[in-house]
Structure 1
Amino acid sequence: MFLLAAALALLGAGAAHAQTDCTAPTAPPQHHQARLQECLMESYSSDYRPVFDHKSTVNVQVGFILKYISFDSLEETFTVHSWVSLTWQDEFLKWEPADYGGLNMILIESSKIWTPELSLFNADASKYQSDSFYTTCRLFNNGTVTCVPHMAHSGICRTTLTRWPYDAQNCTLYFGSWMHTGEQINFTFDSVSAVNTDQYQDGPGWRLLQVAKKRYTGHYHCCPNETYPMLRYTYVMQREAAGPAAVVVVPSIAIVLLTLISLTLDIKDNTRLIVACFSLFCHFVFLTEIGYDIPKESADTPIILLFIRDSMIITLVAVLLTLALQALRARTAPAPGWLLSLNRFATSGPAKYAVFTEFDPDKTSEEKVALAETAAGPSAAAADEPQRASEWLQLSNILNSGVFIVSFITYAVLIICYIPRNDY
């Protein structure tokens, strides 16, 4: 009995000793940054502007670090991908570095603090674009906050296609505060680098030439005591035209040569008609090809379209002329007197150097003699009336030469005025 009581006493003493040695867990000591952030966020609210006086202005400096630009000329929209640098002063986020081990800068999530909402006024409504952002910001002991989120801004850009495919587009983005006045949030350009293109890479099919910026104070008659400042960025982009030029501009010159060559071929040779018809068909092919590459409802007409339109008319005239000259050549009726006078004028004066010589190996010796007698004078031509039928052949040569000269001059003017060139 005594032994049992002693054993129980020993067990109770061991349990008490064990309970005395077990200490309650304590929280780990906080480092300076944790204490600082906890102190700053203790009574902080991100729902209102970070100023003690509601009449004070929050000045926000904006800088764009461009990455790349995608431009859809068919839909007339473009998207700018960039790192947007936003810097402002937060009067509620200040501290003394000496109180926190000399700490003068910390990193903080943008969702925990107030951030300005930079709105794009001419945004593409078909794409959702939020004015807010989420990133990690740098906070300095004097209250300066710098956030650099990655943002994509899509806007509307009305294309100018007059000089397509060597066209340059000016696309503009307008930024500002959607609801706040300039007395509440004042957006300005970054004093160090408003636009940085050191890391920019050209998008597919376009090359960035320059970026122009301008700030509008935003004074309006409706609100004389308020301002609505706005930042304008204009992006000038040049189309990479090597591909379109290879399939449009160069073939356009080729079909011009086809049309002119067809006018120099023998009238009675069917090869001339085939070449002219093939050139006319090529015009329709190029018009279809260009139709796939340009906006269907563009306000501007590319001058290359005007060139192909006028060239198509000239080619159509060449086809009709070939058919008419073939019919004229087949005439056997005697030529009237006015035709004899016209032929003599065209073959005896300075105009004879502009008339092509008819190389016809099938011409009989009688026809050659008739042509020679006709050129000699009216007395020789009147001596033998049936020989005057050869005047139709001479008339066809004169008409063909005249149309060729007019077509050549017209094409020269069209090429100078309507063929676009790369001026950049």
Structure 2
Amino acid sequence: MATYSAWLVILLVSYPPRLIVAECDPNRTPELHDEAKLHQDVLCAYNSNYRPVKDHKSTVTVKIRFALKYISFDSLEETFNLHSWVAMSWKDEFLTWTPSDYGGIKEIQVESHEIWTPRMALFNADASLYPSDSIYTTCLLDSDGTVTCVPHMVHSGICRTSLRRWPYDVQNCSFYFGSWMHTGQQVNFTFYNTRPIVLDDYQNGPGWKLLNVTNEFLPGAYTCCPNSSYPMLKYTFMMKREAGGPAAIVVIPSMVIVLLTLISQFLDIKDYTRLFLICFSLFGHFMFLTEIGYDIPKHSSDTPIILLFVRDSMLVTLTSIFVTLLLMSLRKRVVPAPTWVVSLNRVVNSGPGKYVVFTEFDPSESNDIKVLTGESVSDANIDEKARISADWLQFANVLNSFVFIVTFIVYFILVCVYIPKDD
């Protein structure tokens, strides 16, 4: 029995069953229904290389409607990508028929490569990419010759960015569409009468929010060509950066380093705490510039004002370091103060300026009133040294208060001018 089964398997492998297929008669022609006959008759002897007009002086009017789907914008490379469904409609004088001759069919579908289609070019396209102006889709053809194509198209163009108010910047990017070679008298691009721009299914791209889209028809009349025109369709996209993340990285730390510089001017100068804090603030400026350098676009038509704020804040902090060193030097003076210093102290203490002087450095550990040796010193000498030290300390208080007020005013102006705000 086993031998019989083995032979059966060998026979099945050697002679597999074959399907019986009826041979087709080469003279047999397929039966065409009305739609197939219509396709055959309409496209018979059709030439898609020329404009679909019977009179070469006639103009082909192409209506355009953009249904926006998605937008991506790269501010570093200054490239703007637009994903959309582009509805195109025009009339082809060679693609007409009488519906009653074909079973009442009023419209059919044809492939775009089988018929003439307008070549709409983007004039400010990104040259690094292949700017194809051909469409490949299925079009709807009416009996009166009206052709409607809705291809999915991606346009990549150049958009010059303005980053002065980064990260709360608003960008205006414009696209210019038209025929690359045909004049307006040959192919005239225009908008749909209703809803030339559709935003029903639009989704914002990463980091940007679309505020508004406007369209404008440019007649394209030039002095070089008085008898011809080259019209263009202009679309302007207004976009706002989603600044929540960049603001947390840039704007808030900018205010923190400002507070460090201001707070340091309240500290006493008898030890090095104030000097250490203000030097740390200066170091923070350098670290801050290094970190935000990866986030702020550095190559643009204008400089972000937040960088100008950090630059000026560094200068203010460096000035505060020099002032701190000067105050530490004044505190250690042992020579009598000049007359103008004493007069200034007297004027400030006797007038309304005393309400402005809010700092008071502690003289308890001043070297001017310490007896560092075992030598006997008279009370008169101690009083004289105390008076000299008091004059210099009072002058240091006046100078420090003045510097703080000036620093506060400077920072207030810098914040109002250079810190961008979300409108």
Same fold (TM over 0.5): yes
User: 1:194-240: per-residue Cα shift (whole Å, max 9, x none)?
Assistant: 11111110000000000111101111111111111111001000000
Aligned-residue offset at 1:329? 0.9
Aligned 1:175-186 pairs, distance under 5 A: 175-186=177-188
Q: Distance in 1 between matches of 2:285 and 2:364?
A: 34
User: 1:131-187: per-residue Cα shift (whole Å, max 9, x none)?
Assistant: 101111111111000111111111111111111100000001100000000000000
Q: Distance in 1 between matches of 2:287 and 2:160?
A: 27
Note the residue ranges of structure 1 that are not aligned, 5 or more in a row. Answer: 1-21, 369-380
Q: Contact between 1:163 and 1:303, CA under 8 Å: does it hold in 2? A: yes
Q: Contact between 1:335 and 1:388, CA under 8 Å: does it hold in 2? A: no
Aligned 1:194-213 pairs, distance under 5 A: 194-213=196-215
Partner of 1:69: 71
Partner of 2:110: 108
Partner of 2:15: none
User: 1:350-375: per-residue Cα shift (whole Å, max 9, x none)?
Assistant: 101111242528358x969xxxxxxx
Aligned-residue offset at 1:266? 0.7
Aligned-residue offset at 1:288? 2.4
Aligned-residue offset at 1:347? 1.8
SS of residue matched to 1:231:
strand
Q: Contact between 2:99 and 2:105, CA under 8 Å: does it hold in 1? A: yes
Of 52, 58, 61 in structure 2, the residue corresponding to residue 56 of structure 1 is: 58
Partner of 2:233: 231
Note the residue ranges of structure 2 that are not aligned, 5 or more in a row. Answer: 1-22, 371-379
Partner of 2:137: 135
Q: Distance in 2 between matches of 1:46 and 1:120?
A: 22
SS of residue matched to 2:294:
helix
Q: Contact between 2:359 and 2:401, CA under 8 Å: does it hold in 1? A: no
SS of residue matched to 1:295:
coil
Q: Distance in 2 between matches of 1:248 and 1:269?
A: 33
One-letter amino acid of the counterpart of residue 209, structure 2: R
Deviates more, 1:301-310 or 1:46-55: 301-310
Q: Distance in 2 between matches of 1:418 and 1:296?
A: 16
User: 1:290-312: per-residue Cα shift (whole Å, max 9, x none)?
Assistant: 33223333121111112111111
Residue 413 of structure 1 pairs with residue 413 of structure 2: yes
SS of residue matched to 2:96:
coil
Seq. identity, %: 62
Runs of 4+ in 1 over 6 A off after TM superposition: none
Aligned 1:253-402 pairs, distance under 5 A: 253-358=255-360, 360=362, 362-363=364-365, 385-390=384-389, 391-402=391-402
User: 1:87-108: per-residue Cα shift (whole Å, max 9, x none)?
Assistant: 0000000011111111111111
Normalising by structure 2, report the TM-score: 0.88
Q: Contact between 1:74 and 1:293, CA under 8 Å: does it hold in 2? A: no
Partner of 1:82: 84
Aligned residues: CA RMSD: 2.1
One-letter amino acid of the counterpart of residue 72, structure 1: D
SS of residue matched to 1:49:
coil
User: 1:244-280: per-residue Cα shift (whole Å, max 9, x none)?
Assistant: 1001001111111111000111112322112111111
User: 1:24-44: per-residue Cα shift (whole Å, max 9, x none)?
Assistant: 573332111110000011110
Aligned-residue offset at 1:385? 4.0
Q: Distance in 2 between matches of 1:162 and 1:296?
A: 11
One-letter amino acid of the counterpart of residue 64, structure 2: V
User: 1:277-334: per-residue Cα shift (whole Å, max 9, x none)?
Assistant: 1111121222223332233331211111121111111111111111111121111122
Normalising by structure 1, report the TM-score: 0.88
Q: Contact between 1:75 and 1:295, CA under 8 Å: does it hold in 2? A: no
Partner of 1:403: 403
Q: Distance in 1 between matches of 2:330 and 2:402?
A: 16
Q: Distance in 1 between matches of 2:70 and 2:286?
A: 37
SS of residue matched to 1:400:
helix
Aligned residues: 389
Q: Contact between 2:269 and 2:361, CA under 8 Å: does it hold in 1? A: no
SS of residue matched to 2:223:
coil
More helix by share: 1
Deviates more, 1:295-304 or 1:309-318: 295-304
SS of residue matched to 1:292:
coil
Q: Contact between 1:56 and 1:184, CA under 8 Å: does it hold in 2? A: yes
Of 141, 150, 153 in structure 2, the residue corresponding to residue 151 of structure 1 is: 153
Q: Contact between 2:76 and 2:299, CA under 8 Å: does it hold in 1? A: no
